[in-house]
């Protein structure tokens, strides 16, 4: 069985959700408790909030740490960190499974060609996710500035602060 590496801590709720989802889905498939090994590299999310910047070198180092700890592939429990996906994924020893491609594949499988893109202000104001969806022939609709602010405040105030 493969060992999963999770880039986490960028909103601890999503890290918890990833871990729980993986173990619950495994149990549904196998009905045993031999869950896959999961290694989490937890970032200091405050640094990302304070700088408003995701440093590719830090993400790459975290992936290398997960690889050295035994991870066979990595996922990131955060949309925003995918801003460096194209740059970092080319030069790492294990695959980084893109949340953007996973989402796009599910959207395409449902026959949908246009979706609303919601997330933190960082994700909604960046073009990495809309570009990735466009590569799959999917149009991303974004909220106006006031709605972006409200959505981001909800994410930070209600989801991250739980």
pLDDT-derived band at 1 (thresholds 50, 70, 90) equals: confident
Q: Distance between CA 78 and CA 99 in Å, rounded?
A: 8
Instruction: Report pLDDT for 160.
Output: 64
pLDDT-derived band at 161 (thresholds 50, 70, 90) equals: low
Report, as an integer, the average pLDDT of 86-115. 96
Sequence-distant (≥ 6) Cβ neighbours of residue 87 within 8 angstroms: 56
CATH number listed for the domain at residues 1-97:
3.40.50.1860
CATH number listed for the domain at residues 106-162:
3.40.50.1860
Report, as an integer, the average pLDDT of 82-106. 95
Q: Distance between CA 125 and CA 39 in Å, rounded?
A: 30
Q: What percent of the chain has pLDDT over 70?
A: 96
> What's the pLDDT tens digit per position in 25-72?
999 998 888 889 999 999 877 777 677 678 899 999 999 999 999 999
Report, as an integer, the average pLDDT of 141-154. 94
Task: Tell me how many degrees the CA angle 70-5-115 measures, rounded to the nearest 5.
Answer: 155
pLDDT-derived band at 94 (thresholds 50, 70, 90) equals: very high
Closest CA to 23 of 11, 44, 6, 42: 6
The ranges assigned to domains in the chain are 1-97, 106-162
| DSSP states of 36-78 | PPEEEEE--HHHHHHH----HHHHHHHHHHHHHTT-SEEEES-
pLDDT of 89 higher than 90: yes
Instruction: Report pLDDT for 157.
Output: 79
Asked if 1-97 and 106-162 have one fold, the answer is yes
Instruction: Report pLDDT for 43.
Output: 85
Question: Beta strand 96-97 with 114-116: parallel, antiparallel or unpaired?
Answer: unpaired
In whole numbers, what is the pLDDT of the chain averaged over residues? Answer: 91
pLDDT of 10 higher than 70: yes
Report, as an integer, the average pLDDT of 93-118. 97
């Amino acid at each position: 069985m493969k060992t999963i590496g999770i880039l986490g801590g960028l909103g601890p709720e999503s890290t918890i959700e990833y871990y729980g989802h993986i173990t619950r889905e495994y149990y549904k498939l196998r009905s045993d408790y031999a869950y896959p090994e999961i290694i989490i590299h937890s970032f200091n999310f405050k640094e990302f909030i304070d700088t408003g910047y995701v440093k590719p070198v830090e993400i790459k180092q975290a992936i290398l740490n997960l690889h050295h700890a035994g991870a066979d592939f990595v996922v990131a429990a955060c949309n925003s960190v995918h801003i460096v996906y194209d740059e970092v994924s080319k030069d790492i020893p294990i695959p980084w499974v893109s949340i953007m491609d996973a989402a796009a594949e599910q959207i395409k499988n449902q026959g949908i060609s246009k979706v609303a893109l919601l997330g933190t202000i960082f994700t909604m104001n960046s073009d990495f996710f809309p570009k990735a969806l466009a590569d799959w022939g999917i149009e991303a609709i974004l909220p106006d500035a006031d709605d972006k602010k409200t959505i981001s405040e909800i994410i930070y105030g209600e989801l991250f602060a739980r």
